[in-house]
Structure 1
Amino acid sequence: MTTGQRIAAKRRELDLSQEGLGEALGVSRQSIYKWESDSSLPDVDKLVALSRLFHVSVGWLLGVEEDQEEHISNDLSPAQLKLVEEILSRYQQSSQLTAEQQERVSELVEQKVRESRSPRHRRLRYGAACLALLLVLLAGRSLFARLKELDRQYTDLANSVGNITYSVNSQIGSITSRVEEILKSQNSLVADYATNIQSADLASNTVTFSVRVVPKTYTEGLEILLHADTGDGLVDVPAVPGPGQEFSGQITCPLTDSITLSAVLVDQGTRQTQLLGNYSSLYGSSLPAVGISLLESALLNIPRGEDGLFHVRENYGFLTGLSASVSAVNEDIGQSQVKQVQLGLFRNRALLFWLEPCSRPDNHHGFEKAEQWFHLPSVELDLQEGDELVFAALVTDQYGRQIVTPSLPASRVEGDEITWFSTSFDFPSEPDGWGLAG
């Protein structure tokens, strides 16, 4: 499950559109789309904001932790441990405790500090709660106000430690933006290079890149081929030599969601290939980003009936993102318009049936962002253990290009119940991955 899929899943759990999430974070809908399509990662401050909004850890968003529950790191540095001791010391000195009670508090402080340094350290706030309970027993109700203040101090300290953890974990997000820089610094074949999107022709579903390459070692007769791997095929064109031992050219290839550009250096029959750059999600970002709302809950906690079937009740849902007025996610590529959209229920990526378009139901008020409503009739499903269920929209643009957008979270049969599946499926965006090709 990628970072983008995790963000999309949590956004839909809150019934937020991409635009709504963007407004909550102070970013554009295009930024949300890039995050969810994994074409870019949020900055550090946005990762922290997402984690707080979704009540999960930054580590879970980045895929380095599986536990979704928000937590605070217990790996305290010596300086942080010293701060804990100072807070407790200040409280102990200011409280109205007897000498014997102060000695017992000191013993408890030392015990908690030792535990935090050991492999079996516990949560800082748990230690604060234990200390608060002991002090209540020792000092009585007269110290209740002081205990609340101590708990606040612990909360502030815990938040500070948590922010440190967020900062460390979220540094992972900066790796993506540094890939090109790292490649240049470690490159053994070229001294410099650059790749840029020159233009795109959505009618023919092609994209053109401009490429510049300066070989690190130049010999007379050196040739350079520009190479594009689209996942569906390979394209090669010769680069043109220019002044300063620079080679340049343009290469046009099919527009897909995974394009790798390379330079092939041919010198006296020897061929060496140098990676220049990777482009992801270009095809997907050139089609409207359609969102599915309200229908996911129709497949939650449905028990198997006495007849062995699952009885799904009538429901309604809607799509967003169909408007042609939405600006393109990638301005160099552009974005097409929706010509046709179909919404279906799929089992194991095979179509069960298409939902019928309808007008807004009378009992569904609000939902101003809904652009097309669909009706889910009551149905009886004969399902087996492990069957996967998901709603998915098949979008066709004015050029006949298609993409499939599934809803999240998906559902699965577990025992005698349909329930949401906690781990997102790796759904394909190509229609043939859903048995819809042609």
Structure 2
Amino acid sequence: MTMGQRIAQKRKEQGLSQEGLGEQLGVSRQAIYKWESGAAVPEIDKLIALSRLFGVSVGWLLGVEDPGPEDTGDNTAEAGSGVSPSPAELTDAQLKMVEEIVERYTAALPKPLSSRRRRTLKLAMILGAVCLVGVLYGLFGRLDQLDDQYGNLQSNIIQVQNSVDNQIGSVSNRVEEILKAQNSLVADYGVELLAVNPAHNTATFSVYVVPKTYVNGMTVEFIAENGTTASDRVASAGEDGSNQRFSGTISIELTDNITVSSLFVSPDGTRSTQLLEQFSGLYSDTLPAVDLMCYDSGELLGLQVDPSGLVTLPEVYMTTRPNVSTDGDPELIEQSAVKAVQMGLFKNKTLIAWLEPCDKPERFQGDYENESFYHLPEGTTAMLAKDTDQLQFAAVITDVYGRQAVYSDIPYILSDGELTWPSTADLRDHDPASWDYGQ
């Protein structure tokens, strides 16, 4: 079980919604969602607050220790407050235990002791027990120090390994650069992205090259390729003056993988090609992006399937919110606007059911600005026959130019007969060709 699943489990046990837990911790419901989905981890102070609220140890939340008596929710007042007893003080339970030990010992003595001697002996044993507790706490403190030293040693070893790896990587990169320079056909070159036009679905580049070895009468053709097609070849006979610098402008249909190359043609007909630049993600940067949020998603965790593998889902609300971020230059890459959104429930990227657009439910209090709501009614079913089956919500986005992209939420998988989140999830596949929804 991951840390996020442990948080979700304890939250549900205490009857808290993600928003309610966030209010108690002073964080947003999005932060709680990210913790439970594994997209982020709580800060140290929030981990401590969670452990106190749930009555469990930080180690249990992190998954580094098994639940003990302190994790059962029956903690004493001191334990519940997160304040450990000092080495010189005993809790009521510890005092009672020491007194029982003393009484049993005195009862087993061969001859009766005077009341004064019994009190003295009892006091001595109590003092001894206090000293023993102090010694144990000191020992535990020493063990904690050793753990810290061991952790620091591990950290130092990792730093040394990273430093060595970086040095090796730097040397490897330098060797690769030298080999590329030796094998390169150009002495100088440049490729500049001039514009990305989503309306025409094109990308335009300006290119220049200076050949390493120039021959009179040499010409150069510039080519752009997008994985399926190649652009028209733009020929250049060199510039006046030096006659060694060739330049041109080329356009090609927009995709996420575009390469720009130069083809050198010698007077004798010899042809040599040189790759100049590679561009990735240009098409995706022009698509409208959205953030997905699944409310009551914690209720899906732990849902049981019947013997045939059938799971019945509760009522679920999903929202989408525009995400205008882009990795490219916003002055060169225009991000298109959303025309339509369809929210669906998918099994292995195949549509099971569309969710219905709806107004914000009255029970949802708070700021939901720019969020659109979608509703899945209670009772929707899905058949999960094996651990590899994935159940997930995804939004199909259509932009104003008729292009589509798919943005998905964290999937659910079947584990030990119930729904859970996978340890890792890749949500970067936005290609509609990977999804089956009747497009």
Within 2, Cα distance between the matches of 1:294 and 1:251?
A: 44
* 2:301 corresponds to 1:278: no
Shift of residue 394 of structure 1? 1.2
Could you tell me which residue of structure 2 aligns to residue 29 of structure 1?
Answer: none
Could you tell me which residue of structure 2 aligns to residue 420 of structure 1?
Answer: 421
Shift of residue 406 of structure 1? 1.8
Trace 1:16-27 onto structure 2 (pairs within 5 A). Answer: none
Does structure 2 conserve the Cα–Cα contact (< 8 Å) formed by 1:328 and 1:335?
no
Could you tell me which residue of structure 2 aligns to residue 47 of structure 1?
Answer: none
Within 1, Cα distance between the matches of 2:63 and 2:272?
A: 48
Does structure 2 conserve the Cα–Cα contact (< 8 Å) formed by 1:263 and 1:274?
yes
Trace 1:168-183 onto structure 2 (pairs within 5 A). Answer: none
Trace 1:154-193 onto structure 2 (pairs within 5 A). Answer: 154-165=150-161, 185-193=181-189
Q: Secondary structure at the match of 2:232?
A: strand
Instruction: In structure 2, list runs of 5 or more residues that go unmatched.
Output: 1-17, 19-39, 45-61, 65-131
Does structure 2 conserve the Cα–Cα contact (< 8 Å) formed by 1:180 and 1:277?
no
Trace 1:323-342 onto structure 2 (pairs within 5 A). Answer: 329-331=328-330, 332-342=332-342
Could you tell me which residue of structure 2 aligns to residue 115 of structure 1?
Answer: none
Closer/same/farther in 2, CA of residues 305 and 152 from structure 1, 3 Å limit: closer
Within 2, Cα distance between the matches of 1:235 and 1:260?
A: 10
Within 2, Cα distance between the matches of 1:172 and 1:315?
A: 51
* 2:430 corresponds to 1:429: yes
Residue from 195, 203, 222 that aligns with 1:226: 222
One-letter amino acid of the structure 1 residue matched with residue 402 of structure 2: G
One-letter amino acid of the structure 1 residue matched with residue 226 of structure 2: T
Instruction: In structure 1, list runs of 5 or more residues that go unmatched.
Output: 1-14, 16-49, 55-68, 72-135
Within 2, Cα distance between the matches of 1:200 and 1:298?
A: 43
Does structure 2 conserve the Cα–Cα contact (< 8 Å) formed by 1:299 and 1:420?
no
* 2:269 corresponds to 1:269: yes
* 2:232 corresponds to 1:236: yes
Closer/same/farther in 2, CA of residues 181 and 366 from structure 1, 3 Å limit: farther
Could you tell me which residue of structure 1 aligns to residue 399 of structure 2?
Answer: 397
Does structure 2 conserve the Cα–Cα contact (< 8 Å) formed by 1:329 and 1:335?
no
Within 2, Cα distance between the matches of 1:173 and 1:345?
A: 44
Residue from 198, 202, 212 that aligns with 1:202: 198
Shift of residue 252 of structure 1? 0.4
Could you tell me which residue of structure 2 aligns to residue 132 of structure 1?
Answer: none
* 2:291 corresponds to 1:291: yes
Closer/same/farther in 2, CA of residues 70 and 413 from structure 1, 3 Å limit: closer
Could you tell me which residue of structure 2 aligns to residue 320 of structure 1?
Answer: 321
Structure possessing the higher radius of gyration over alpha carbons: 2
Matched residue count: 308
Does structure 1 conserve the Cα–Cα contact (< 8 Å) formed by 2:409 and 2:427?
no
Closer/same/farther in 2, CA of residues 180 and 248 from structure 1, 3 Å limit: farther
Could you tell me which residue of structure 2 aligns to residue 97 of structure 1?
Answer: none
Closer/same/farther in 2, CA of residues 185 and 164 from structure 1, 3 Å limit: same
Could you tell me which residue of structure 1 aligns to residue 251 of structure 2?
Answer: 252
One-letter amino acid of the structure 2 residue matched with residue 265 of structure 1: F
Superposition RMSD in Å: 4.0
Q: Deviations over 1:231-278 (max 9, x none)?
A: 231113224222531111111011111111111222233322211111
Q: Secondary structure at the match of 2:433?
A: helix
Could you tell me which residue of structure 1 aligns to residue 305 of structure 2?
Answer: 304
TM-score, with length taken from structure 1:
0.59
Shift of residue 230 of structure 1? 0.6
